[in-house]
Amino acid sequence: MEFIGQWGEGKVLDLWCTTTRFIVDSYHYNNHSAKDTLCNTWCNPAPTDGSAPNLVIMARDKKGNPYWKRAFNTQACEQLNSWLGGFESILKCMTIGNFNWFLHTMLFYHTKYVIEKQKRKKAKAQRKNTGDGDDGDDGDGGGGGGGGDGGGDDDNLNTVY
């Protein structure tokens, strides 16, 4: 492909306009009017017309009937982007190499944190279901610094590592 000229001229703008979508998370999309053609065409997080095969996959129910299924959780992506926004002031001052290293490192630690949080939540639910009772320990290791931010709010993903 050859792109010559400014954004407002010919091929570059035409290509951008025909291939770009502003995908919103499913929560925001559901709040839009069903009759909003512009939103339905360009912001749909689960288009079934084949225009975004990485967003929607064909799955089968228990009876073997095919149905369209979202390929990933857009709300989780929204939460992660919000969390990363807290680092914007330092990220925008970094070189490309430092930016990539920092972002990958933070995502690594964030993933570890989320997995541990899920394990604690599952263990707490199992203790509750088996009748062992709740000893008041939320599974974060105690002392306010073990597995979370020390605030005791297990649902807060805005933890500083």
Tell me the one-letter amino acid at 104: H
Contacts with 1 (C-beta within 8 Å, 6 or more apart), sequence order? 11, 15
pLDDT for 36 equals 78
Cβ-in-10-Å burial (0-12, 13-18, 19+) of 105 comes to: exposed
pLDDT for 6 equals 54
pLDDT for 158 equals 44
CA distance 32 to 22: 14
pLDDT for 1 equals 47
pLDDT for 102 equals 94
Structure tokens at 41: 């065409």
For the chain of 161 residues, list the mean pLDDT of each consecutive stretch of 10.
53 77 76 73 76 81 89 82 91 93 93 94 91 55 39 42 41
Structure tokens at 108: 């690594």
Cα angle 134, 138, 144 (rounded to 5 degrees) comes to 140
pLDDT for 13 equals 75
pLDDT for 156 equals 41
